[in-house]
Amino acid sequence: MVVLILMLSAIFLPLALAPLIYLAGEKSARLRNALAVLGSAAALLCTAALYFFARSGALFIFPLAGSVPLTLSLERTGLLLALITSFLYLLVTVYSIDYMANPGAGNLYYPVLSLTLGACLGIFFSGDFFVLFLFFQLVVIATYLIIVNRQSPQAYLSGARYLALAVGSGVVLLAGAAAVYGITGSALFSAAGFATAPGWQAVLIFACFMISFGVMALAHPFIIWRQDAYPLAPSPATALLAAVMLKIATYGMLRVISDLYGVDFMRENGVPSLLLSLALLLIASGICLTYKQGTIKGRMAYSTLIQQGYILLNLALFAEKTTPARIHQLFFYVFILAALFLSSGALIWRTGKNNIHDLARSGWQVPVTLVTFTNAAALSFLIPLYKGAVMLAAAEPLHWAYLAALLLVALSNACFYLPLTIRSFGVRHSEMNPPRGGAGGQVIVLPAKGVTSGGKTRYVFTLEAPVRMLVAMIVLNISCIVFALLSI
């Protein structure tokens, strides 16, 4: 009973607070922000408390109508994703308080953020495809509202494109779920009797699930929604679009591969090779498209293709070798994506520069932000290199295509992310440093601004970003380092 209360609280507290946050925003920005942080913190506490019950593998079934049940389940992978998601939402909410500080800017943003949090937790605690579909559609609606947050004609056009693809993917997901239910009489992820389905039906249903999840995060033909959505949505929201939507798609594919079909079916039908081929396609296309981008947001948007290829590569390894530790390490990678987006968003917010060629000399204005970005960027190519080294050292049959993909990911991340840091700090320190000491001077640490008074210039220390934004970025980077060490 305690487990059930905690699961329902984690899901429905953020959902219930969403309208209250909206109403509070009409009266007081401080009250709105406090409710938003409270909802994220409460969800994190509830999911953290569930950790002590995770070993029970509890399954709760709720009759809906007729013989169709709605099922919530508590299992380790879903709980891990719920913990990561609620932690990221709390950090992003704190970060957003100053980022979205313009009057009226957060009136729609914060309720939608709370709505997506509850829906995402519902997905990770779902026990069947129908529950997954219901919460998935709620995420789609909330994400659409994030994209059109600016309420401009271009934002509405981009939102319409996203909505068309997302609704289509939902229909395909529902068709796959209905087919599983029709064959087995159950929509559970581990539906008994599905293994006896005719071969062509099993393949067709598998294609439905892969297409549905691919629209959101993993399939190259649907990149068009991302190129419009990322630049228009607020930077904190893009961090969640990149990390959370990717986790949802990965989680759905993982449940299909491991629970519904089983790894034996995957191996017998060559699914690992198919996933590897798609991963290589995503990585190669991501490299080509990212290379053309001259803006920070554009480069971040298209480089997610490379990261998604890396995710798909790990799914292929999982389907072939069935190593739980590998797939759990995979989810920690979303911390790196979120850290990159938050740091780049803070850089644009502070300097007002989105073009990479305009960043010269800007690094000394935002040293902490650039350090957090560089740390996440370094981890994004060091982790794939480490995994490749482990594969080389392992005394097991070696698939050279996996090594090639890991090397491509590592090199592309280094080439696309690190030049931003190099260009920002790529001037002599003496050119940026103000005079230190001397008559009337004050020895300080950059960033600083000169203040002239009585013919003397004093350099007054100024924070590069509000404390809440800096704390969120620093905590997220520390988390990246911790999880990187856990992955070793």
Instruction: Give the model confidence (pLDDT) of 84-141 as tens digits.
Output: 899 999 999 999 888 887 755 567 888 988 998 999 999 999 888 888 899 988 988 8
Give residue 428's pLDDT: 42
The CA distances from residue 358 to 64, 295, 299, 427, in Å, are 57, 9, 14, 13
308-345 pLDDT tens trace = 788 788 777 776 665 554 556 666 777 888 888 888 88
Describe the crossing of helices 367-393 and 467-487 by its angle, rounded to 10 degrees: 10
Per the CB < 8 A criterion, the answer to whether 109 and 149 are in contact is yes
Rounded CA gap, 36 and 20, in Å?
A: 9
Decide: helix, strand or coil at residue 40: helix
Q: Which amino acid is at 337?
A: L
Where residue 169 falls among pLDDT bands split at 50, 70, 90?
A: confident
Percent helix, strand and coil across the chain, each to the nearest 5: 75, 5, 20
Rounded CA gap, 332 and 60, in Å?
A: 28
Please give the share of the chain, as a percent, with pLDDT higher than 90.
14
Q: Is the pLDDT of residue 147 over 90?
A: no
Place of tokens 């997220």: 476
Q: Is the pLDDT of residue 56 over 80?
A: no
The CA distances from residue 406 to 160, 184, 309, 332, 485, in Å, are 35, 39, 10, 17, 19
**Angle, CA of 127, 133 and 139, to the nearest 5°:** 110
Rounded CA gap, 261 and 203, in Å?
A: 10
Residues 250-264, buried b or exposed e (16+ Cβ, 10 A)?
Answer: bbbbbbbbbebbbbe
Q: Answer positive or negative: Cα dihedral of 300, 120, 336, 350.
A: positive
Q: Give the pTM.
A: 0.84
Q: Is the pLDDT of residue 429 over 70?
A: no
